[in-house]
Structure 1
Amino acid sequence: MDINSLEIKKILIIDLAFIGDVILATPVTRALKTKWPEAEITMLTVPFTQPVAQMNPYVDNTLIYDKRGIHRGLSGMWQMAKELKQYKFDLAVCMNFAVRGAVVAWMARIPYRLGYDAQHASFFLTWTASHIRKGIKHETENHLEVLEPFGISTEDTSLKLEPPAGAISSMEAKYKQYGIEKGKYYVVCPMGSYERKNIPISMAAQLIREIKSTYPVYLIGGTKEKIELISYAQAGQLSEAHVFAGTLDLQELAVFIKNAAGMVTVDTGPMHIAQAVNCPTIAVFGPTDPTVWGPRNENSCYIYTREQCSPCWGKGECKDNVCIKKIKAKDLYEKLQQYSGH
C-alpha cells in the first residue's frame, strides 16, 4: 500500500511509556507533521505523562489511557477503544514494544495502524517495523525506526518542549514566593529511577558547596524522594526551602529548568526535559549507556567512566557502584561552569 495515496487527516500516536520516552518521541512527531502538515496529531499517554505530551509543539491534542484506573484490564481496553472510535482517526502509530497500543488501535477500528512486531502485534497492525534495534544509537533515532515502513524520517532529531502560558505564569508567582531570580540559580537532580543511578550524598554535598559559591542551588525530584533530598540538602548546607520534591508539576518544572543557569543530573526524566528546553546540562552516567540516553545539545555533556561492567542497567553484581563513585564532584562543577558560561 502506497502511503502517498492515503488521505490522512487525523493521526493518533500511542505512547504509554515514561517521561523520557514521550520526550524522545519528538522526532517522530516532527516527521509525521512534516509528512502530513495539515493532519491533526493527537498523542495518547498515561495520566502522568500527559502534561509532557501537551508541551510537544507538533502535537495538537492529548488523550489519556488510564491503564491502572478506568481503562484497566480487558474491559478497560474495550472502553478505551470505544472512546477512541468517536474521534475517527485515520492512522495510529504505536510507539511501544508492548502489544497493548496495537490491540486498542485495532479494537477502535482505526483503518491504518503502524507499530512494532514485538509480542505478536503484527496481527493487529497494517504495517510493522522490526523491534530489533539496528546497532547502538541514541534513543531518538531508535524511535524513528517505527516509521521505516513508511520510508519517512527526519534529520532533525532535537528535542523540544514549549511550556504553556499557564505554567509560565504560575512559575512567575513561585519565583516571587521563594525569592528566586530567573537565570541566576542552578538545579541538581541527584536521584534516578533506581538507586544505582544516584549521585552519592558525599559527592552531591561537595558539588552543592562548590556551585552555591556562584548561584543558589535547588534540588529537584519526586514527592517520594523528599526525605532523601532533604538529606542531600542538609549535607550540602542548604535549607529545606531549596528542595523541590513534588513542589512543581511537570509543566512548571519545565519552566524552572528552562530558566536555570544550568543543571547537573543523573539519567532520568528531568534530564530529557532539560534537553528539550535547551538548559545547559551535565549528566552523570554509570549503569546506563549515554550513547543511547545521554544529552546531545551543544551546551550539554555527560560524564561517564566507561567501566567494563557498564552498562548493567542496575542489574550488575557490583555493590560499590564504582561507575558513579569514580566521578569527581570537582569535575562536575568545572563542566557546569564551562557549559553554562559562568
Structure 2
Amino acid sequence: MHLLTLIRTNYYLKIMARFLEKRMKRFLLGGIRYIVKAPAPETINNLVGIEKILIIRPNFRLGNALISTPVIDAFRERFPSARIDYLATDKTWPLLQQRPVDHFHLLSRTAILRPWQCVTLLRRLRAQRYDLAVQVSGGSTSGFIVTRLIGARYSMGSGKGHQRWYNIEAEGKSSHAYDAIVNLTRPLGVACHNRPLLQLTDQERYQAMTKIRQLFSLHSDHSSDTDFIAIFVGGHQNKRWPLAFWLMLIDAMEACKIRYVVFLGPEEFRLLAPIEQRLMSSLYGSLCPPLPIRHFAAVLGRARLLVTPDSGPMHLAAALDVATISLVRQKKSLAFVPREAYDTILWRPEISTVIDAISANLDGQNATAPVQLASATNQPTQRVRTPPSAAPLHSSY
C-alpha cells in the first residue's frame, strides 16, 4: 500500500504509472476486439426480460463517479422493477449512497498490484448473468473491457468511431461531460439530470454544522454556519495551481475581510504546513483537514460558494447546488466545469480577478435558481471570464 501512496503523491511516478496503465489497457482492448465479434444493433423497446442491470464506472476519480449519478436515476425510472447494480471503486462508492442502487460491486486500487483480484471480480460479475450492461463513459477502456467480458445479454454505451461496440449506442458527440450523460440516456425516453446528484442525510448535515462551528470557534463574532467561502487547494496533475497562488489568495481574503475555509485533499499533504502557518494569525480563515468524503461533502454543502480548480470537489459543489468559481488552466477543463447561471469560470485569473468574482457573488450578482433538468439539445450557456492577457476561448456549450 505504501507503493500506491507514493505513486499517487509523486507527479512523475503518477505520469509513468498512467502511461503503463494505458499501454496495458490498449493491449487488452486489441485482444478483445479480435476475439469478440461486434454486437448486433438493438433498440431499447426491443429488449425483453430486462430484470438485472449493471451500470459500469470503475474509476477512482471522484468527479467521474459524480458525473455518472444521473444515469442511475434515469435507468431506475425506465426500469422501475429491475435490479440495478453498480460497478464502482472502493474510493468513490460512498458518493453513490442514497441513490437507487440495489448492490455495489467494488474495484480496489490494490488490484493494480494484484491483478488476480480483477479476474475474481469478472467471474463474480459473470455469475450474476446480467441482462443489460451499461458502460457510462465512452472513453473508459476498463469499462469497455468489463462490458464485453461479463457476458450480459445486451450492452449499451456511447458509440465510438465506425465500429459498433454495443447493442444500443448513443449517437452524437457532446462538448460537455454533463451533456454526454444526457446523450447516453436519451434512448431510454426519460428525463435525465444534466448535473451531478448527491443526497445527504439529516445526520450528515447536523455533523457538518457542528464541524463548521468548531472551525470558526476562534471567530466568535460570526454566528452563521453558511456565511463562508470554501477554497479547495488541490486538483489532478496539471490542473493544480501553485502554492504561491493560494497563499496570495489567502492574504487577499484577509484584506477584504471575507470569511473562508481552506480545504486540502489527501494528496496535498505537502501544502499543509505552509498554509497552516499562514493561517495561524488569520482573523477570517480556518483550515479544515482532510475529512471522510461524505463528511467533507456535507461541510461543503454549507458554503456560500466554492473556489476551486478543475477537481472532484468542483463536481461535489455542482451536485449540492453550491455556486462555484472554477479556476481553469487547461482548455480541456472547459468540458467539465459547472456552467449554471450562478457558476463562474475564470481562465488563468489574477488574484484580483478571483476576489472580484467572489465579491460579485456575495453581492448577489450571480444568484439565480439552479436548472436541474435539460435535454442534450437544450444546453446552458457557458460564461468564461478571460483576463486581457489571455487569448479568448470559444466553446459550443
Match of 1:163 among 200, 207, 229: 200
Residue 182 of structure 1 aligns to a residue whose secondary structure is coil
TM-score normalised per structure 1 = 0.77
Alignment of 1:95 with 2:136, yes or no, is: yes
**289-298 or 38-47, which deviates more:** 289-298
- Deviation readout 1:164-209 (Å, 9 max, x if unpaired): 3553354355345445652132211133212553161354223431
Corresponding residue of 2:230: 187
1:62, distance to aligned residue in structure 2 (A): 2.6
Residue 211 of structure 2 aligns to a residue whose secondary structure is helix
Alignment of 1:245 with 2:293, yes or no, is: no
Task: Map residues 55-134 of structure 1 onto 2, 5 A cutoff.
Answer: 55=98, 57-66=99-108, 68-69=110-111, 72-73=114-115, 75-96=116-137, 97-116=139-158, 125-129=166-170, 134=173
Classify 1:201/1:254 alpha carbon distance in 2 versus 1 (closer, same or farther; 3 Å).
Answer: closer
Residue 91 of structure 2 aligns to a residue whose secondary structure is helix
Corresponding residue of 2:16: none
Alignment of 1:12 with 2:61, yes or no, is: no
Corresponding residue of 2:309: 266
TM-score normalised per structure 2 = 0.67
- The answer on whether the counterparts of 1:171 and 1:256 sit within 8 Å (CA) in structure 2 is yes
1:218, distance to aligned residue in structure 2 (A): 1.1
- The answer on whether the counterparts of 2:212 and 2:299 sit within 8 Å (CA) in structure 1 is no
State how far apart, in whole Å, the 1-side matches of 2:265 and 2:159 are: 34
State how far apart, in whole Å, the 2-side matches of 1:122 and 1:104 are: 16
1:118, distance to aligned residue in structure 2 (A): 5.7
Alignment of 1:338 with 2:383, yes or no, is: no
1:283, distance to aligned residue in structure 2 (A): 1.7
1:266, distance to aligned residue in structure 2 (A): 1.5
Classify 1:206/1:70 alpha carbon distance in 2 versus 1 (closer, same or farther; 3 Å).
Answer: closer
Paired letter, 1:158? R
State how far apart, in whole Å, the 2-side matches of 1:298 and 1:39 are: 36
Corresponding residue of 1:138: 176
Paired letter, 1:143? I
Corresponding residue of 2:330: 287
State how far apart, in whole Å, the 2-side matches of 1:208 and 1:227 are: 22
1:250, distance to aligned residue in structure 2 (A): 0.9
Corresponding residue of 1:297: 340
- The answer on whether the counterparts of 2:78 and 2:188 sit within 8 Å (CA) in structure 1 is no
1:65, distance to aligned residue in structure 2 (A): 1.4
Residue segments in structure 1 that go unaligned for 5+ positions in a row:
305-322
Residue 238 of structure 1 aligns to a residue whose secondary structure is coil
Classify 1:87/1:222 alpha carbon distance in 2 versus 1 (closer, same or farther; 3 Å).
Answer: same
- The answer on whether the counterparts of 2:154 and 2:167 sit within 8 Å (CA) in structure 1 is yes
- Aligned residue pairs, count: 313
State how far apart, in whole Å, the 2-side matches of 1:71 and 1:163 are: 34
Corresponding residue of 1:22: 65
State how far apart, in whole Å, the 1-side matches of 2:73 and 2:253 are: 38
Aligned-residue sequence identity (percent) comes to 20
State how far apart, in whole Å, the 2-side matches of 1:252 and 1:271 are: 16
- The answer on whether the counterparts of 1:230 and 1:243 sit within 8 Å (CA) in structure 2 is no
1:270, distance to aligned residue in structure 2 (A): 0.4
Paired letter, 1:298? A
Residue 268 of structure 2 aligns to a residue whose secondary structure is helix
Corresponding residue of 1:174: 211
Paired letter, 1:7? G
State how far apart, in whole Å, the 2-side matches of 1:163 and 1:71 are: 34
Corresponding residue of 1:3: 44
Residue 330 of structure 2 aligns to a residue whose secondary structure is coil
Classify 1:335/1:233 alpha carbon distance in 2 versus 1 (closer, same or farther; 3 Å).
Answer: farther
**Higher-Rg member (1/2):** 2
State how far apart, in whole Å, the 1-side matches of 2:117 and 2:190 are: 33
Residue 224 of structure 1 aligns to a residue whose secondary structure is coil
4+ residue segments displaced more than 6 Å: none
- The answer on whether the counterparts of 1:71 and 1:80 sit within 8 Å (CA) in structure 2 is no
State how far apart, in whole Å, the 2-side matches of 1:327 and 1:47 are: 40
Corresponding residue of 1:275: 318
- The answer on whether the counterparts of 1:26 and 1:157 sit within 8 Å (CA) in structure 2 is no
Classify 1:337/1:222 alpha carbon distance in 2 versus 1 (closer, same or farther; 3 Å).
Answer: same
Residue segments in structure 2 that go unaligned for 5+ positions in a row:
1-41, 218-223, 368-397
Paired letter, 2:73? R
Classify 1:327/1:38 alpha carbon distance in 2 versus 1 (closer, same or farther; 3 Å).
Answer: farther
Residue 110 of structure 2 aligns to a residue whose secondary structure is coil
